[in-house]
Amino acid sequence: MKCFYKKTPLLFILIFILSGCGNREAEVITESGFHLGTIVKISIYDKAPDNIFTEVFNLISELENTLSRNIEESEISIINSNSGIKAIEVSDDTFQFL
């Protein structure tokens, strides 16, 4: 057991040194947009497809249109406006979210 405790600091030093190897400079790609009632900033620190930001912001918009309480046509708004009145059928995404 003593041997393990003596080697532990050496193991952490080795992991720390090796994690810094491969001195590659990552290109940071950042894009921002107004979604979900706030500014959303996405940064990618590695190679990514050209259309990745379009896909990500489209997904965020889809979720916002379904889950926003501020958009009258969203499922969440419909649930809120019918609260205590009648049951509302929702999509699988909304069900999982709730």
| pTM exceeding the 0.85 threshold for the entire prediction | no
**Residue at 90 is within a domain:** yes
How far apart, in whole angstroms, are the C-alpha atoms of residue 83 and residue 77? 10
Position 3 scores a pLDDT of 44
Alpha-carbon dihedral sign for residues 34, 37, 39, 41: negative
Predicted local distance difference test score (pLDDT) of residue 75 = 92
Total tally of structural domains belonging to the chain: 1
* Residue range 58-72, pLDDT digits in tens: 999 988 888 888 888
Domain of 48 in residue numbering reads as 25-97
Identify whether 11 is part of a domain: no
Instruction: Classify residue 72: in a domain, yes or no.
Output: yes
Q: What is the pLDDT of residues 37-96, one digit of tens each?
A: 889 999 998 888 889 999 999 999 988 888 888 888 999 999 999 999 999 999 888 888
Report if residue 3 sits inside a domain.
Answer: no
pLDDT of 5: 42
Question: Rounded distance, CA 77 to CA 65, Å?
Answer: 10
